[in-house]
A = this chain, B = another copy of it.
């Protein structure tokens, strides 16, 4: 419907996740009317990311170079590995400033529905990191949903004969939330994981 170049751009934008045809059209018109330099900056940052950004050869996190910032940082405790699904989970955990160990990014979670099995995840690389026995604790921080739980269960079973402490992040009521708005599964977990206050 549009002049060729505009329709091509709308089509390309529409391939991005979460961008429907209406948003693609809106963004295309915005870019059409935007300053040349602004579009140039977007283009440059796209090319820059593809040219420079790789995945860390050790942990699978995003990296500018062979290893990510965390794996090359000698101050990070190499005896504790926190296993997450995606690089964005690393960012979320880093934001808490609670964790000073290293990470391992699986690249997803086990999901029979979406055809993702253990072999599709970076699990062999995780086991390779555990083989020299310097790691004392593996914290499984996959998402608290069906796929994340299945992945956690799989990992615990697969690590059965490795001498390492395996832990899982606590489930429970979100801090600052209202108890009455918690779904029953979360509330159930909160009961299960209740802690003694007067020990």
Contact = CB atoms under 8 A, between A and B. Distances in A.
Interface of A: 1-6, 8-9, 11-13, 15-19, 23, 25-32, 36, 38-39, 41-43, 45-50, 52-53, 62-64, 68-69, 86-88, 91, 94-95
B49 A32 contact: yes
A46 B53 contact: no
Contact of A8 (B12, B29, B48): B48
A68 to B, nearest CB: 7
Given A3-B68, A69-B3, A91-B1, A17 B12 contact: no
- The interface centre, meaning the residue of A27, A30, A49 with most chain B CB atoms within 10 A of its CB, is A49
- The interface centre, meaning the residue of A11, A38, A42 with most chain B CB atoms within 10 A of its CB, is A42
B62 A32 contact: yes
A50 B40 CA distance: 9
* Copies of the chain in the assembly: 2
Contacts of A68: 3
A64 B1 CA distance: 13
8 contacts: A1-B91, A11-B45, A12-B46, A16-B27, A17-B27, A19-B27, A29-B87, A43-B47
A64 B8 CA distance: 13
A62 to B, nearest CB: 6
Given A5-B49, A12-B45, A39-B50, 11 more contacts: A4-B64, A6-B49, A6-B53, A13-B42, A16-B27, A18-B27, A19-B27, A31-B46, A32-B49, A39-B46, A39-B47
A47 B40 CA distance: 8
B30 A53 contact: no
A33 B180 CA distance: 40
Contacts of A91: 1-2
